[in-house]
Structure 1
Amino acid sequence: MDFTELYKHTGSLVSFSPGAHFVLNAVLDRVIIRKTESFQISRTWVIDPTPSESTSLSKHASKTTRFSTDSKNVSISHAAWSSDSEYVLAASVKGGFVQVFKLRDEEWTARIDSGAEGLVKAVWAPDGRTILCFSDWGLRVTIWSLVTGTASYIQFPLFPDKGFAFRADGRYLVLAERHKSRDTLGLYDASDSYRLVRHFSLPTSSLASFTLSPTGNHIAVWEGPLEYKLHILTLAGNRLASFSPEPEPVLGIREVAWHPSGMFLAVAGWDDKIHILDSLSWSPVTAFELSNRIPPEVAIWREPSKWLESTQGRGFLSYEKLRGPQTITLNKTDHTKANPKSGAAQLTWNQTGSLLLVRYETVPTAAHIYHFPSPNEAFVPRLRSVLLHSQAISQARWNPARKGSLALCCGNRSVYTWSDEWESESGEQEEMAECIGVPTKEFDTRNIHWSKDGKGLILMSKETFCCAFEVEEASA
C-alpha cells in the first residue's frame, strides 16, 4: 500500500466522495476538499456563525475567505457528501445551523437555521437534494429541499441515529416515532414531498431499534436491552413472526444484520450466540456460539509478536498461521453491571453474503469469520477463520467492492488485512492475512473507512488521518 502524508481532522469527519475522486475533512469550522489523485486542496470553506434573517432555507453568495469570529463555538459536528458528490453539508450542533456548499461553485452556499428547537443531527436523503435535520429533545425532524427551498415536518422522531432508514431505491423513508406513549413507525413517500403513506403501532414496549431488509419488503424491530424479542413486520405494519430463543437470555438483543439477499437475518444478544433466521419461516436455521476451543479445520491467523518494533513500522508482514486445535482466552463477564463486556460488538456481512464477520467483546482481540454457503451449496454454515491480535480490535470493515477483502485496526500504528482472493502457485484461491505498518512515528489507527470503489482506505487517529491506496502492479 502507498500512504499519504498526515492531515488534521476534528470529530473523525473524514470521508471519500461517492465517486472516490475527492476526500473531505473538517477541521474546527473549516471544510477542506482534496483530490485523491494528488491530495492537493481543491476547495476550502469556512462555516458562517452569523444567523440568517429567517429560519427558512436561504441561498446567498459567500466568500470562503471570510473567517469565523469564534471557531470554537461553531465547530463542525457533521459533514457529509451528497449522493452525487455535487454538494457538501456542514452542520454545527452548538451553532444550531447547517451550511451547504457546492463543489463546482466555490461561492455558492445555502443555510438552514434550526431556531429554538435546536439541532442534534443533519443527514442527506438519498436524492442528494434533501436534508433531514433532527431537532433537540426528539421534537421533530425537518426535511429541507434544496430544489424548492421549502420544508416539511414530522413530529416526535424516536431516535436521531438508529431510528430511521430509507428503502434501497430511496423511494420511502421509514421513521421510528413515539406517539401517546406508544412505539410507532411512519412510512413516508420521498417522491411526493414526504407525504405520509402509512402509520402503525409496533408490538414493542420499548423499541431499541429497527432495520429495513435489503429488498425493502420487511422490517425487523426489537425490544430494549432487558427483553430478547424480535418482530418481523411488512411495510404495511402486519406482523409476520416474532422470535425469542428458548430459554430466553438474561439480556436482550445487541446486534441485527440482514443478509444482502434479504433471505436471512443474523441476530446477536449479550450471550455470545448468533442466531440465523430464514425469510421463509422466520425461525432459526442455524446458530453460532463462541467457544474458547477452535477446531483444527478452522484457519487461525495470529499477529506476530513485536512485529512493529522489528520492522519499525515499514512494509508489511504476514500473520503467523497456527496449526491444529487452539485455545483462546475468554474474558469473564459480570452481567449484573450495566453494559457488560459480552456479546457481539459487530455483526457484518460481506458484499455477497458469503462471509459473516463477528467481533465478540468477550474476546476483543479476535475477529471470527464464518462461511455462509451459496444457494447451490449444501447449507452448512461454519466457522472459517479466526484472526488473533495483541490488542483489542477497534474497527473492522469489509471492502465494499470485493467479496473477500477485510481491513481491521487495533489502535496502534498499523492496519491489518485479510483476503481469500490470493492465488497459490497451483492457481487455487487461498487466504492471506497481513500486518501493514503506517510509515510515521506518531499515529494510532482508531478507525478506518473504505472508498466506494474499494481501492482506498482512510485511516484515522485521534487528531490526524492519512489515506492508503493499493499499489497497482505494472504490466510487463
Structure 2
Amino acid sequence: MDFSDVFKQSNQLVRISPDGKYMATCVQYRLVVRDLSTLQILQLYTCLDQISYMEWSSDSLFILCAMYKRGLVQVWSLEQPDWHCKIDEGSIGLVSSRWSPDGRHILNTTEFHLRITVWSLCSKAVSYIKYPKACDKGLNFSRDGHYMALAERRECKDYVSIFVCDNWHLLRHFVTETEDLAGLEWSSSGCVLAVWDSCLEVSGLRHREFTLFLDFVETPACVSPQYKLLLYSLDGRLLSTYSAYDWSLGIKSVCWSPSSQFLAVGSYDEKVRVLNHITWKKIVQFEHPATLDDTKATVYKEVERRPARSSEEISLHNITAGSALFSTNSKYEICPPPVQIPAVEPDPDRANPVVGVSALAFSADSRYLATKNDNMANTVWVWDMQKLRLEAVLTQASGVRCFQWNPRCARLALCTGNANLYMWSPGGCVSVQVPSEGQFHVLSLSWHHTGDCLILLGKEQLCLCYLDTNKQHS
C-alpha cells in the first residue's frame, strides 16, 4: 500500500470524475480540480458562497456546485475555465440539485418539495415537474440513464411517474399500493422498479408495544402493518408484493445486487431477507445472532497492540486465512466458536432507538453481501450468496461508520472513525494505520472505479490510498 499527502476538504465533498482522471474537492467556497495521476491542481474555481453539494456531469466535462442556503447553483466547465453558469431559484428556495444522466440538464428541487425544475444547459429551456414527494429516496435513475422514476404525492395518495430522460417525456404514471412511500430504486438491469413503504416512527410507539415487537409478540391491533415491498415493471404493472410480517416496524434498507438476481431487504427485526428475480419470493433469511455457537464462518476480532517496528511492511498480497496481519496499533485475531457479538439493547423509552439492519452492500460479482445491524454497531457481517451462509464476521473495537466493496473484486474496505483502514477479502483481514503527521481519522471512504485506489475522508482532510505499491505517487 501507498498513501498520498493529506489535502484539505470541507463537508466531505470530494468526487472522482466518471472517467477516473480527475478529483474535485470543495474547500469552503472554493472548488479545486486535480489530476488524479499526479495530484497537481488543474483548475481553481471560486463560488459565491460555501458549497453544500458538488457533482460531476456524466461525461466529466462539467461540475455542479450547489449552495442551498442561498438557493444558487453554479456550473463550471473543465475544458473552458472562463465559461460558467449560474442558476438562481430565488425566494422559492433550494433543497436538492443533481445532474441528469446526459450531463446537460440539472434537476433542482425547491423547498417544501413544491416542484422539480429541469434546466437545460444547451437550449436554456426550463420545465417543471409537480408534486414530488418529500422522501430521501424518491428519485432514481436507471443505470443506463434512459429512465427516471419519481415518487409523487397527490390527493393523499402515492404515485410513481416514469420519465424518458432524453426528452423528459412522461412514459408512465400510476398509483402505488403504499400507505406512505419511503423510497424507490431501479434494478441494475433497469427492468424492475422496487418501491417500499415507510414504517411507523419508533418514537410513536409506547414502551410496551416496542418491547412486544422485539419479543415477537403480536402488536396491538391499533397499530397498522407497514412492511410492504412492491415490484413494478417498466410499464407500471405490479409484478409482485412482498411482506415478511405484520409488524408495525418494517423495511429499513433495500439493495439490489449488480446482477439484478437478488434483492436484499433489511428490516427492523434484525434480519435480512433476500428475494430472487424470477418468482420474487424469499430464497434465504440471514439473521444476526448475539452468540455464534457452531458456525463455519471465520470471526475476526480487532485488538489493540503495542506499536510495531517501523520497518514492518503490510501487504494485502500475503493475507492467509489464519494470519493476524496488523498495523502499528491494532490487529485482527481469529476467534473460535462460541463467540459473543457485542450488542446494545435498544432503549424503547428513547426516540428512534437504534435497531435493525441499516446498511447492505453486494460485492461487484454479487457473490458476497455485507450487512450491518445497528444495535451491533461494531460488527460487519459477510454472507456468501452461493452457499447461502455466513462467510465472515468482523468485530471492530469501535463503531463501523462506512463500508464499501471494491468495484472490481471481492474486497471490502471499512472505517470506524479512527486512524485505521480495514479490509476483508476471502483470504483474510488486514488493519492498516494511515500515516500522517497530525491526527487523521477516517470517517468515510470510497473506491476509484478501477479498484486500485481508495479516497479516505476525515473531518477536514482527505488522503488517497493506492493498493498498487509498484506505482509511486507524490
8 Å Cα contact 1:134-1:160 kept in structure 2: no
Q: Which amino acid aligns with 2:270?
A: D
Tell me the alpha carbon deviations over residues 408-448 of structure 1, each in whole angstroms, 9 at most, x when there is no partner: 0000011111122xxxxxxxxxx121111111231111000
What are the residue-to-residue correspondences of 1:446-457 with 2, within 5 Å?
446-457=443-454
What are the residue-to-residue correspondences of 1:216-365 with 2, within 5 Å?
216-226=190-200, 227-246=226-245, 248-294=246-292, 295-306=294-305, 309-310=307-308, 316=314, 317=326, 319-335=332-348, 337-365=350-378
The alpha-carbon deviation at position 254 of structure 1 amounts to: 0.1
Q: Distance in 2 between matches of 1:313 and 1:390?
A: 25
Q: Which secondary structure state, in structure 2, belongs to the residue aligned with residue 137 of structure 1?
A: helix
RMSD over aligned Cα atoms: 1.9
Tell me the alpha carbon deviations over residues 221-280 of structure 1, each in whole angstroms, 9 at most, x when there is no partner: 11112211112222222222222124x334111001112222221111111111111222
Which has the bigger relative contact order, CA under 8 A and spacing at least 6? 2
1:113 aligns with 2:109: no
Aligned length: 429
Percentage of matched positions with identical amino acids: 33
Q: Distance in 2 between matches of 1:311 and 1:182?
A: 64
CA gap of 1:465–1:198, structure 2 versus 1, over 3 A, is same
8 Å Cα contact 1:416-1:436 kept in structure 2: yes
Q: Which amino acid aligns with 1:10?
A: S
8 Å Cα contact 1:314-1:439 kept in structure 2: no
CA gap of 1:325–1:304, structure 2 versus 1, over 3 A, is same
The alpha-carbon deviation at position 313 of structure 1 amounts to: 12
Q: Distance in 2 between matches of 1:345 and 1:387?
A: 17
Query: 1:183 — aligned with what?
Result: 158
Q: Distance in 1 between matches of 2:90 and 2:135?
A: 18
Q: Which amino acid aligns with 1:207?
A: L
8 Å Cα contact 2:135-2:182 kept in structure 1: no
CA gap of 1:392–1:240, structure 2 versus 1, over 3 A, is same
8 Å Cα contact 1:96-1:119 kept in structure 2: yes
Q: Which amino acid aligns with 1:209?
A: G
8 Å Cα contact 1:249-1:271 kept in structure 2: no
The alpha-carbon deviation at position 189 of structure 1 amounts to: 1.1
1:10 aligns with 2:5: no
What are the residue-to-residue correspondences of 1:396-435 with 2, within 5 Å?
396-402=403-409, 404-420=410-426, 431-435=427-431
Q: Distance in 2 between matches of 1:117 and 1:313?
A: 59
Please, what TM-score do these two structures have when normalized by structure 2? 0.87
Q: Distance in 1 between matches of 2:311 and 2:95?
A: 40
Q: Which secondary structure state, in structure 2, belongs to the residue aligned with residue 94 of structure 1?
A: helix
The alpha-carbon deviation at position 116 of structure 1 amounts to: 2.0
Query: 1:377 — aligned with what?
Result: none
Query: 1:466 — aligned with what?
Result: 463
The alpha-carbon deviation at position 25 of structure 1 amounts to: 0.7
Q: Which secondary structure state, in structure 2, belongs to the residue aligned with residue 116 of structure 1?
A: helix
Structure 1 unaligned regions, length at least 5: 49-73, 374-379, 421-430
Q: Distance in 2 between matches of 1:306 and 1:109?
A: 53
Q: Distance in 2 between matches of 1:241 and 1:455?
A: 40
Tell me the alpha carbon deviations over residues 11-60 of structure 1, each in whole angstroms, 9 at most, x when there is no partner: 11011112222111101111001112221111000013xxxxxxxxxxxx
8 Å Cα contact 1:121-1:160 kept in structure 2: no
Query: 1:128 — aligned with what?
Result: 103
8 Å Cα contact 1:314-1:437 kept in structure 2: no
Q: Distance in 2 between matches of 1:171 and 1:93?
A: 28
8 Å Cα contact 1:222-1:231 kept in structure 2: yes
Please, what TM-score do these two structures have when normalized by structure 1? 0.86
Query: 1:47 — aligned with what?
Result: 47
Of the candidates 392, 404, 412, which is equivalent to residue 399 of structure 2? 392
Query: 2:180 — aligned with what?
Result: 206
8 Å Cα contact 2:10-2:460 kept in structure 1: yes
8 Å Cα contact 2:266-2:358 kept in structure 1: no
User: Please, which moves more after superposition, 346-355 or 328-337?
Assistant: 328-337
